[in-house]
Structure 1
Amino acid sequence: MNQLIEPSRQASAWNALESDLANALGDVVHFDNLHKSLYASDASNYRQIPIGVVVPRTIEEFVAASAICHRHQVPVLMRGGGTSQNGQCVNVAVVFDMSKYCNRILELDPQAGSAVVEPGIVCDTLRDAAEVHELTFAPDPATHSRCTLGGMIGNNSCGAHSVMAGKTVENIEALEVMTYDGERFWVGPTTDAELKGIIAAGGRRGQIYADLKRLSDKYGDLIRARFPNIKRRVSGYNLDQLLPENGFNVARALVGTEGTCALTLKARVRLVKSPQKRVLLILGFDDIYLAADAVPEYMPFGPIAIEGLDRQIIRGLQARQLRAEEIALLPEGDAWVIVEFGADTVEDAIAQARRAADYFNQRAGSRVSTKLIADGPTQSRVWLIRETGASATSISIEPGRPDPLVGWEDAAVDPMRLGDYLRAFQALVDRYGYETSLYGHFGDGCVHARITFDTRSTAGVAKWRAFTREAAELVVEFGGSLSGEHGDGQAKAEFLPIMFGEELMLALEEFKRIWDPGNRLNPGKVVFANKMDENLRVGPDYKVVGPVTRMQFISPEGAGFQRELERCIGMGRCRSLKGNTMCPSYRATRDEKYSTRGRAHVLWEMLQGEIITDGWQSTEVKEALDTCLACKGCRSDCPTHVDMASYKAEFLSHFYEKKMRPRQAWSMGRIGDWAPWAAKLPGLSNFLTQTPWLAGFAKKLAGVAAGRGLPKFARHTFRHGYRAAASSGRPRVMLWVDTFCEHFHPDVARAAQKVLDHAGFDVVLPNKKLCCGRPLYDFGYLDAAKSRLQQIIDSIGSSFEDGQAGPVALVGLEPGCMSVFKDELVKMFPGDSRARRIADNAWLLSDFLVSRDYQPPRLEVEVMIHTHCHQKALFGVKGDQELLNRMGATWIQLDSGCCGMAGSFGFNPDHEALSRNIGEQVLFPALRAAKPDTIVLTNGFSCKEQIKQGVRRDTLHIAELLLRAQTRQSSFINQDFGSK
């Protein structure tokens, strides 16, 4: 829509549009400020506030909504996963998010090697379905766990395995498309006879084909002469697909148009054979240029992927103390190439890799180190460096150094000239005083580069613009493409004339006009493009604010709440549908506002104050954060370590300064205050909470969901029966007995005491009853939480001073509580050395026992492990696994993410259904399928409750399982003595 229209008239027109869309589609239409904030940004440097957002439930709803947009003559942007890096996924338009509902596989034909899909389907969902038949959809960008096929078609996406089977364009057989004005038809390769018939039939479709034929005839020779003859030419439109020798393939001509020409309704895609057995050969070189020079030497061995990686990313990970175990897998060198081989058998794949390794081991000239990795889990860890390393190092830890940015991210040249290009490119980077990392798809000559552009000053932007022009000229000098994977969007479109020349630019513009004469489909991208320095998310006018916070957000990347929010660069790993923990609420809803990225974007907008205008009192932010489980999954799973649990607690502490907290805040948030009193009369307390007719009233009073059972108080607290051990000269351990182990499950603490005694330690308790205050954070009680922590510091802070004959460790049982000592304690008291010592000496029981080489008695049982989210995020899973190994148990670790209970979250009436839905993603089905005698191991109180209430299975804490082994050993010993 014309941006010069008077604002009041524009608002009126958009109100009418919203009304028409809402009347037609109902509650999937969102013109509110929350959704505008969610979709104003993607994974690029750009930000444009949408007119509104529509999340159609079906393709037919999308068609109907598009017709309404056409009637109102407003721009339309069709969006997939929102992981584009060049700005093509944001616009002043009605944004259609196809990923939530329009994500089905409509047909999968293994014999034909094809599938028909809707545009919102995630790449990995299709790949998983194809793998059942030993097939795959070959293009696999680093975002394959969340990018959609519609977005891949729009960007002509590639990935590590394009060496094996090409870009998206080579893997598209046909598309059902719709023009902005509503014409709907299938496109694909077209014979001469079919072309004549379509043109003869007339109408809008006939006119399009006739115009495309004229375009092909007019510019055919120029296209053949000027289009780069390389595998990764992604920039511009695929006009070469209209040439007779390419079958006048209209579907493939539309691939890579970034939603600027037609709207994709369905796609028929090619599936290729997926090598079932794969191995990696990692080659170490002295520098990245020598690694690139060797591209011609990799190819003869038939690899299916060739990925390069320079030292800069590795150094960045090491400086942040990340991925140390993965980095240790790399052979000696200062640059690496990961060469993947695939075959039907492991032996054949290994044989291919060994032939290549032998060649490089015996190669004359520069030294090359080699390492062959055949087991799948280790290969996945190596790929993790490649897929997350750049994102993990995208926030600068050097004061005054700009963050490495996308923007010149994916240029491609002839792979046979890659080494020389990289030398010239690095020289250009050095001349401008920038720093960069170099990595990418070496087999196809596509190089990724995150560069330290300064976009926050006018001078910095001018310098960035000058660099981009020279970088474009350099790529063209090497016969390359400005984009080799991510598309042009806004970041590179302005410089396409350097690559194509003015006459071919006219051809690109004519192609756009044939399809979209009114320039209503994603305007300002690819052609008729916005300038590269317009619409910047963080530009010279970026608003820097320093809100006063209760937690102190201090990290190597900088200090302050705004700096924390800048961690989110929009790559959307939180939108992955499986694996790890992040983000449980998104997985259960597929709603952007319930993703970690969505919440980070809304909080960022709150600080900017343009869309979200009421700051800490924002109901939009409160709505987005309401379903955050504070599981801390993002703290470990997000490559940039966004910590939404802390951001939520901080926001709520301010929000409730002027708002009344819900009843649940008093019942569950303050459980550490009232539970000790209720535990004095456990019989009465349980009568009130467990008797059916009284429990209903109690739950209503406490703000607890009617379908949830209230926890039952133990007859005796742990301290009631605790007796301090007599001084024995053995090392002492301070046992942290949390509220839940004290009042509800004291057997866990008693088991821990006995196990620690068996391990050779005397157990002591703090000299007074203390509470870490974990439930307080869920309701923003940060002042009260800080007061609890101050009491802890004053009470036990000196216990762990160097040279003191105190306890050797603070050992705890509930991961949620122990995570307070590792996380919130140092956020609340960043300068207090006593707080740091407590944090450094805080252990979960299993980790502590492993660190002290404890050998438990044998217990040969089958165990299924579900790990508490806080344990995974801050402690890891290896402690429990190692103890099970030592006792001879057979175990499986569920990749079950969050259980869905998450402290008080699942008890909330508004969250109960979502909580159970999260449990049904992986955890509940796995437990139902487990054998009845399988022991379910989980250390979290909330996990225990969720499993008990969800699938009616009992669970054991690691302390209880270790005690069971200890008791069984004692029983055997007693039997032996008795027989003698």
Structure 2
Amino acid sequence: MASIYSPLTGPEHRASVESDATRLSKPWHALRQDLQQALGDCVHFDRGHLAVYASDASNYRQVPIAVVVPRSLDEVNAGVAICRRHKAPVLMRGAGTSMSGQAVNTAVVFDISAQCAAIIDLDPRAGTAIVEPGVVCDQLRDAAEGYGLTFAPDPSTHSRCTIGGMIANNSCGPHSVMAGKTLENVEALEVMTYDGARFWVGPTSDAELERIIAVGGRRGEIYASLKALRDKYADRIRARFPTLKRRVSGYNLDQLLPENGFNVARALVGTEGTCALTLQAKVRLVKSPSERVVLVLGFPDIYVAADAVPEFLLCSPIAIEGLDRAIIRGLQARKLAAAEIAMLPPGDAWVVLEFGADTLHAATALAEHAHSVLSSRQCGPQPTSALITSRDDQKRIWSIRENGASSTQLSIDPNVVDPKVGWEDAAVDPARLGDYLRGFQALVDRYGYRTSLFGHFGDGCVHARVTFDLRNAQGVLDYRNFAREAAQLVVEYGGSLSGEHGDGQARAELLPIMFGDEIMEAMHVFKRIWDPDNRMNPGKIVNANRLDDHLRLGPDYKVVNFSTRLKFRGAEGDGFQRALERCVGTGRCRSHKGGTMCPSFRATHDERFSTRGRSRLLWEMLQGDLINEGWQSENVKEALDTCLACKGCRSDCPTHTDMASYKAEFLSHYFEKHRRPRQALSMGRIGDWAPLAARMPAVANFMTQTPVLSAIAKRLAGVSAARSLPKFAPKSYRRKAMGRIGIGNGSAPSVILWVDTFCENFHPEIAEAAATVLGHAGFNAVLPAKAMCCGRPLYDFGYLDLARERLKTILDTLSPMLEGECAPVALVGLEPGCMSVFKDELLKLFPDDPRAKSLSDKTYLFADFLAANAYTPPKMDAEVIVHTHCHQKALFGTAGDKAILDAMGVTATMLDSGCCGMAGSFGFDPKHADISSTVGELVLLPAIRSSPQTTLVLSNGFSCREQIQQGTGRRVVHFAELLAIAHKAARTAPVADSHEKDLAPLLG
């Protein structure tokens, strides 16, 4: 997908480009000129791109020479040819979620994930698909599911990892029990060597092999050399290669053996881009069980759980996943995933068995049979169990397994270093797994480390996050010694140093322990056959860098202490730098669908505009190497400028990286030395001028709604010409409801109704509806003594000092109102973006003020308050399509909305639509108009257009309603309006047609 974002072209950008040019050595400067002349703006040498591609999800950091985001495979071919002329190393990269360091290098990085992502062919009869390397795993799986098929390998990063990356790493996932690793699911590959040869490879008969050699050329030369390698080392390969299913370490030389069909494609799987580039892949698709159930077993500890793996295998599950107590206890300590953890049966270790069949009854029968067998086992403890048949509940169970390790990857104990990858995924014979884990734990204990154990028990593959201390020389030495002993332990059990994530740099140095000198010599020969000049991802697998080279958080890591306006505090520690360390690179923000984050990445497919990319830039800013202008960095500013501050990452990211807050903090410093844009006054300070304009609504509307004057007004305000300006109401809500100011009278309990700037001045009918419904619910809605704005738009422009003043006024005004026996019981609001201020920014600006904590605790969204107070809504016969505001999803959730809608009896469709794209002032800015539109068109706007005109469209956010109305022409209602109409309809029933008449205003 082509990026729709236009990079900066002003003097700041030119200055940055010039400084980058001086940074480049002379040969790379010539490389830059040739690449840019041939490929244009898909070539990037700027420090912003280099910074975000310098890291992956591993412990390593290597700054690229350049980044190329090719628009086609032909551009890959052209780019590599230019690199060859300049003898520049190359690295093809997918989603960059590798944990062993194979996705970073001092090379020209070709990111094929953005635009080389087509499913070229899908043949359900043959059970195959041909794909470009940038196709995302879930993209292929979703396409295959339409035919009852699936691509079996599904690592925890399946929502963003690419097929090309999976081939490079020989990725697996929980369902390798069902259908093997990526290797077993690759039929053929089109590859390109560094010297430009391009051809298909796959299984090769003896006759075909001789024919290829006879034809000659580069392909014939390669095949002849591979045949010679095979003939020389065949016996040693058979003797030394482990036979376990999860051997991922090293090159797959065994695939060249005659009994394996001289399969050159599978020999290249797992080579991590060190031999050839994958341009197309023909992959195998297998039957996908249409129904699945999960049986969760609880054990006293992880070792006895592992002892039972042979028994699990006899029950024929399609996945066997193990999980120890460390991750669960870590989640509980952070108050995360409580509902999911509550679904687990009693125990201190758990095994998840998944069963699949054509019917739910058949799948359930398999699980029940397994339960019967395992509950009557004679050896070892009998497990506790929970059978999960609901698809939604199964997803929640799997979410613990997929996200738990990342969520707990920062230590909450200041005396314990953060757990790290580094000894991540060794595999042994499943029948020996329990004993191996006991030995591994003993090794961990001897070094004084802590670890968590989890993984693919059915194939004997165990992931471990270990508390390696890499920030001092002795800690690095201990890490080296531990890794060597751990490798020796795995070999003693006949295992593989890597069972999923590949060797990269983390384990490549240790491969001689596993394979011995003779096999390592064969692997060096294999590398030279394909890449004689060592230009393909050098330093990985063979000719390996040391495992302690290029450490991202090594002894040279700078700890920077400085004052911030927002206070960043968390269970894992305080401070802005500690907050940035939350991002460990798993890349959930690169998911193409589902959830909220990251809308700007989904619109542009630009790594800089992902949550991870921005985190990397801010991290580099603190280190001051690549990004050395501090808070005045234009590279950081450019990336943050496209952040919609949707807060999706605050909830969707496993580590709860909070980019909206980081953006606000950065901008507050950036604008100390730069002039704020016009939008800062027109949109950022709308809370200041809107009440003034609302005193003369006719005049204000004449200026903003009359065609010619409106165009001038938008130009002056910095608003996109394609946008419509909202219309001021004839009378503000406060002027209509003077009687509601202050403490209410009567026996009904009171609530403070927070009427935000938008409901106050543009849509007072929403506030009126809310007050009416609160009255029906038995509450008296009162207003604060004076009109106030929460300051939500201020954060988008870094006005943190001004925002703090606004909140201090609110605390001084509301706190006395909320005290005493007859005080209002809650602060109830209508606009999720505004109410999120009281749940989020208020606590960051006043972390030590008990009034802030008290006000935050008493803050509710409208539907949440009603649901929490046993409100019974009137019944309503209607179809409703619901888009939830991002801040509501991130901070409040949707349980209240769902409870009220269910109680009303309406037919509600809760869209998984992500961000609407308007995001406050974001979508009104001309610079963001294209991104805003693209985000809206991903899911939301097409879903609204395709819904019947008789379907009500519901959204609580002002900006969401504006995006929908301006993008589809449909009338959008607030929850308060829906309930008010329902009450009115209930009063007028059974008058004929009253229901339809009452709904008419909502349908527009």
| 1:449 partner SS | strand
Name the amino acid aligned to 1:351: A
Query: Per-residue CA shift, 1:110-169, capped at 9, x if unaligned?
Result: 111101000011000000001101011100000000000010000000001000000000
Q: 1:88-126 CA distances to partner (integer Å, 9 max, x unpaired)?
A: 000000000000000000111111110100001100000
Which of 955, 961, 972 aligns to 1:944? It is 961
Partner of 1:82: 96
Instruction: Tell me the equivalent position of 2:575.
Output: 560
* Worse overlay, 516-525 or 194-203: 194-203
CA-to-aligned-CA distance 1:846-900 (integer Å, 9 cap, x gap): 1111110100111121111100000000000111111011111111100000000
Which of 471-480 and 963-972 deviates more?
Answer: 963-972
Deviation at 1:361, TM superposition (A): 2.2
Task: Tell me by how many angstroms 1:412 deviates.
Answer: 0.2
Equivalence for 1:708: 723
Cα contact 1:58–1:102 (8 A) shared by 2 = yes
**Comparing 397-406 with 813-822, which one deviates more in the overlay?**
397-406
Residue 368 of structure 1 corresponds to: 383
Tell me, what secondary structure is at the counterpart of 2:451?
Answer: coil
The residue type equivalent to 2:100 in the other structure is N
- The aligned residue for residue 513 of structure 2 is 498
Please give the residue correspondences for 1:35-54 in structure 2 after superposition, counting only pairs within 5 Å: 35-54=49-68
Partner of 1:182: 196
Please state if 1:748 is matched with 2:766: yes
Instruction: Determine if the alignment matches structure 1 residue 865 to structure 2 residue 879.
Output: no
Q: Is the 8 A contact 1:412 1:444 kept in 2?
A: yes
Select 1:891's aligned residue among 908, 916, 935.
908
Match for 2:755 among 725, 737, 749? Answer: 737
- Give the structure 2 partner of residue 719 of structure 1: 734
AA of the residue aligned to 1:277: E
For 1:180 and 1:361, the matched residues in 2 are separated by 57
What is the aligned residue count?
970
Amino acid in the other structure paired with 2:808: Q
- Distance in 1, Cα, partners of 2:683 & 2:527: 58
Give the secondary structure class of the aligned counterpart of 1:910: helix
Q: In the TM superposition, what is the alpha-carbon distance from 1:556 to its structure 2 partner?
A: 1.0
Alignment of 1:667 onto 2:682: yes
Give 1:515's aligned amino acid: W
Give distance in 2, aligned partners of 1:554 and 1:371.
Answer: 37
2:644 is aligned with 1:629: yes
SS of residue paired to 1:209: helix
Give the match's secondary structure for 1:282: strand
- Match of residue 511 from structure 1: 526
Question: Is residue 792 of structure 2 the alignment partner of residue 774 of structure 1?
Answer: yes
Does 2:30 correspond to 1:13? no
1:599-638 alignment, distance < 5 Å: 599-638=614-653
Match of 2:450 in 1: 435
Alignment map for 1:249-648 (pairs within 5 Å): 249-364=263-378, 365-648=380-663
Alignment partners' CA distance in 2, 1:287 and 1:543? 39
Q: 1:975 to 1:522 in 2, by over 3 A?
A: closer
The answer to whether the aligner puts 1:786 opposite 2:804 as a matched pair is yes
The secondary structure found in structure 2 opposite 1:437 is strand
What letter corresponds to residue 836 of structure 1 in structure 2? K
The alignment partner of 1:265 has SS state of: strand
Instruction: Quote the Cα distance in structure 2 between the aligned partners of 1:677 and 1:698.
Output: 16
Task: Confirm or deny that 1:852 pairs with 2:869.
Answer: yes
Structure 1 pair 469–658 and aligned structure 2 pair: CA distance change class (3 A):
same
Q: Indicate which of 698, 703, 709 corresponds to 1:683.
A: 698
1:912 aligns with 2:926: no
Is contact 1:172-1:269 (8 Å) kept?
A: yes
Partner of 1:146: 160
* 1:45 match: secondary structure: coil
Q: What amino acid does structure 1 have at the position aligned with 2:330?
A: G
Question: How many angstroms does 1:675 deviate by?
Answer: 0.3
Contact kept, 8 Å, 2:246 with 2:496, in 1: the verdict is yes
Distance 1:302 1:589 in 2: 43
Q: Deviations over 1:885-930 (max 9, x none)?
A: 1111111100000000000000000111110110000001110111
Does the 8 A contact of 1:724 with 1:763 survive in 2? no
Output the CA distance in 1 between the equivalents of 2:901 and 2:806: 35
Question: Which is worse superposed, 572-581 or 963-972?
Answer: 963-972
State how far apart, in whole Å, the 2-side matches of 1:536 and 1:608 are. Answer: 13
Contact 1:52 1:94 in 2 (8 A): yes
1:57 paired to 2:57: no
The 5-angstrom pairing of residues 27-176 of structure 1 reads 27-176=41-190
Inter-partner Cα distance in structure 1 for 2:411 and 2:786? 43
How far off is 1:620 after superposition?
0.3
Give deviations 1:285-314, integer Å, cap 9, x for gaps.
111111111111111221110001111111
Give the match's secondary structure for 1:382. Answer: helix
Deviation at 1:800, TM superposition (A): 3.4
SS at match of 1:339: strand
* C-alpha RMSD of the superposition: 1.3
Of all paired residues, the percent bearing the same amino acid is: 67
Match of 2:778 among 760, 773, 778: 760
Q: Segments of 4+ in structure 1 off by > 3 A? A: 7-10, 723-726, 798-801, 973-976
Aligned residue for 1:4? none
Compared CA separation, residues 10 and 637, structure 1 to 2 (3 A): closer
Give the 3-state SS of the residue equivalent to 1:309 in structure 2. strand
Letter in 1 for 2:747: G
* Consecutive unaligned residues in structure 1, runs of 5 or more: 1-6
Cα distance in 2 for partners of 1:362, 1:474 equals 33
SS at match of 1:559: coil
Equivalents in 2 of 1:922, 1:154: separation in Å?
A: 32
Within 2, Cα distance between the matches of 1:481 and 1:871? 46
Question: How many Å separate the matches in 2 of 1:442 and 1:907?
Answer: 51
Q: Supply the AA of the counterpart residue of 1:476.
A: V
Residue 3 of structure 1 aligns with which residue? none
Q: 2:217 aligns with which of 198, 203, 206?
A: 203
1:586-639 deviations in Å (ceiling 9; x for gaps): 111111011000010001001111001101000000111111000000000000
Deviation of 1:362 (Å):
2.3
Confirm or deny: 8 A CA contact 1:800 1:837 kept in the other structure.
no
Residues 203 and 261, structure 2, Cα contact 8 Å, conserved in 1: yes
CA contact (8 A) 1:286 1:367 kept: no
Contact 1:689–1:698 (CA under 8 A) maintained in structure 2: yes
Partner of 1:582, secondary structure, is: coil
Q: What residue is the counterpart of 2:1000 in the other structure?
A: none
User: Do the aligned residues in 2 keep the contact of 1:410 with 1:483 (CA within 8 Å)?
Assistant: yes
Look up the match of 2:817.
Answer: 799
CA distance, structure 2, for counterparts of residue 469 and residue 279 of structure 1 = 40
Which letter does structure 1 place at the counterpart of 2:635? E
Q: Distance in 2 between matches of 1:799 and 1:215?
A: 83
**What is the deviation of 1:975?**
9.7
CA contact (8 A) 2:376 2:382 kept: no
Separation in structure 1 between the aligned mates of residue 24 and residue 212 of structure 2, nearest angstrom: 40
Say whether residues 1:25 and 2:39 are aligned partners.
Answer: yes
Partners of 1:657 and 1:108 lie apart in 2 by 55
What residue identity is the alignment partner of 2:218? R
**Partner letter of residue 525 of structure 1?**
K
What is the distance in 2 between the residues matched to 1:623 and 1:481? 44
